[in-house]
Amino acid sequence: RFDSIPLAPPDAILGLTEAFAADTRSEKMNLSVGVYKDASGVTPILKCVKEAEKQLIESEKTKGYLPINGQPDYRSQVQQLVFGDRVESDRIAMVQAPGGTGALRVAGEFLARQCSPTRVFLPSPTWANHNAIMQSAGAPVESYTYLADDRRSLNFEGMLSDLRDKTRPGDAVLLHACCHNPTGVDPTAEQWQEIARVISSQGLIPVLDFAYQGFGDGLEADAVGLHTVLDKCAEAIVCSSYSKNFGLYSERVGAIGLVASNPAAASASLSQLKVLVRSNYSNPPRHGAAIVATILADQELTRLWKTELDEMRIRITQLREKFVEGMAKQAGAPDFSFLLKQKGMFSYSGLTAMQADELRTKYGVYVVGSGRINVAGMDEDRMDWLCGAVAGVLS
Ligand code: LMR
């Protein structure tokens, strides 16, 4: 019974945020969870979101249930954002999901139930939650090479040969569409061409985790990998999240966009996705999706959103530069300029689990045990202090 239940270990990422909240040191800094902070240390509500919420409070008429696959105008706006006119609309099954995690979980269950004996290949390394999500969904998990031994660049040949040699036709390959979490190491546009060719010729199902669009090089540029895959593969699943690029973390806004090779297959897939949603959480929450739909339906608000997203991206790049400069001033510290090539919120710092531990206990700086640093959480006013702390555990 309940008294014999063992204690589960804390979550590799959110567990650190719990520990951070309980830490009483005033100098503490949380660089663990992937959350953007502005210059005043706050995760802001975007102005476009506030404006959309004002409009919604006026116009909202009901709190009745949404359809199982979500709010129709949200689905069509998000479908346009993810796919544009690249894929015929009747080949897409679009389902609103509670965040990127919810989307991945439903996609994983779909693969396990409808595409068995498909295995899901995850990059090594990958987001700490991918494994657990796919396993809980009942999908057998395998891994493919991603990061090189230097832990700061892509092992492209290793990746391709794993995708060629380890997989069977019908297996699924999870790809980070941009801003690879946890490393910040993305393929180039030319490498995406090659990746898409291998996925297509091996008969694999690409599953794209698209959680950071706009945080790498911009909305369009960050979709290059996805577009390349869509151009070469007749089937794909895109799990998108609007937590980061709309700053809607707690509203849980995401989507599954399943591309089938023909309209009948898309309809059948949609019907099965709805069965999974119904038995999981019945239907999705309204508010966050309504915010995204309101912004994307309004030219002015969309313009404001793009400006605010650009500001976040530029600030993260500046923080990367300041950190690299700061580390260069620390006597004997290694060169961190590789961080400038990496994309999005995260970078692998090269810190070992023990050094990450020491950084937390000695200085109150929280980074994930893998050495992943959330650059977007750095406090620019205390950059020299942070660099001193990192240099302190490296020496
Ligand atoms: C992260 O990787 O830190 C984010 O995606 C938040 C999370 O849920 O882990």
Nearest atom in ligand 1 to 34's CA: 3
Pocket test for ligand 1, best of 11, 35, 127 (most atoms within 8 A of CB): 127
268 CA distance to ligand 1 middle (Å): 32
pLDDT of amino acid 395: 84
Catalytic residue among 162, 171, 186, 209: 209
Q: In this structure, which residue's CA is closest to atom 1 in ligand 1?
A: 34
Report CA(182)–ligand 1 centroid distance (Å): 9
- Ligand 1 mean position to 292 CA, how many Å? 20
pLDDT tens-digit map of 226-255: 999 999 999 999 999 999 999 999 999 999
Active site residue 150: no
* ipTM of this predicted structure: 0.95
Cα 256 to averaged position of ligand 1 atoms, centre (Å): 18
Residue 72 is given by DSSP the state H
Q: Is 319 in the pocket of ligand 1 (CB under 6 A)?
A: no
Burial classification of residue 268, based on how many CB atoms lie within 10 Å of its CB (0-12 exposed, 13-18 middle, 19 or more buried): middle
Answer whether CATH 2.120.10.30 is correct for domain 65-297: no
Judge whether 75 and 283 are in contact, CB under 8 Å. Answer: no
pLDDT in tens, 73-83: 999 999 999 99
Q: Does the annotation mark 127 as catalytic?
A: yes
Under DSSP, is residue 259 helix (H, G, I), strand (E, B) or coil?
A: strand
Give the SS3 label for residue 207. strand
Task: Write the residue with the smallest CA distance to atom 5 of ligand 1.
Answer: 34
Ligand 1 center–CA 128 separation, angstroms = 8
Measure 33 CA to ligand 1 centroid, in angstroms: 5
**For a pocket test of ligand 1, which of 13, 178, 180, 213 has the largest count of ligand atoms closer than 8 A to its C-beta?**
13
Kindly give the distance from the C-alpha atom of residue 34 to the centroid of ligand 1, in angstroms, as a whole number: 5
Which residues, at least 6 apart from 299, have a Cβ–Cβ distance to it below 8 Å? Answer: none
DSSP H helices, the chain, are 14-22, 47-59, 72-83, 99-114, 130-137, 156-165, 189-202, 224-232, 263-280, 287-296, 299-328, 353-358, 383-394
215 lines ligand 1 (CB under 6 A): no
Domain-wise residue ranges, the chain: 2-45+301-394, 65-297
What residues in the chain have per-residue pLDDT under 70? none
Which CATH number is associated with domain 2-45+301-394?
3.90.1150.10
36 lines ligand 1 (CB under 6 A): no
Q: What was the pLDDT predicted at 165?
A: 97
Is there a cis peptide before residue 182, judged by omega within 30 degrees of 0?
yes
Integer angstrom CA distances of residue 379 from 15, 288, 309: 21, 28, 19
- Cβ–Cβ < 8 Å for 290, 74: yes
Q: Is the CB of 129 under 6 A from ligand 1?
A: yes
For the question of residue 274 being annotated catalytic, the response is no
Give the pLDDT of residue 200. Answer: 98
CB contact at 8 A, 207 and 112: no
Ligand 1: nearest atom to the Cα of 11: 9
Is 181 a pocket residue for ligand 1 (Cβ < 6 Å)? yes
Residue 195's closest CA among 220, 219, 230, 238? 230
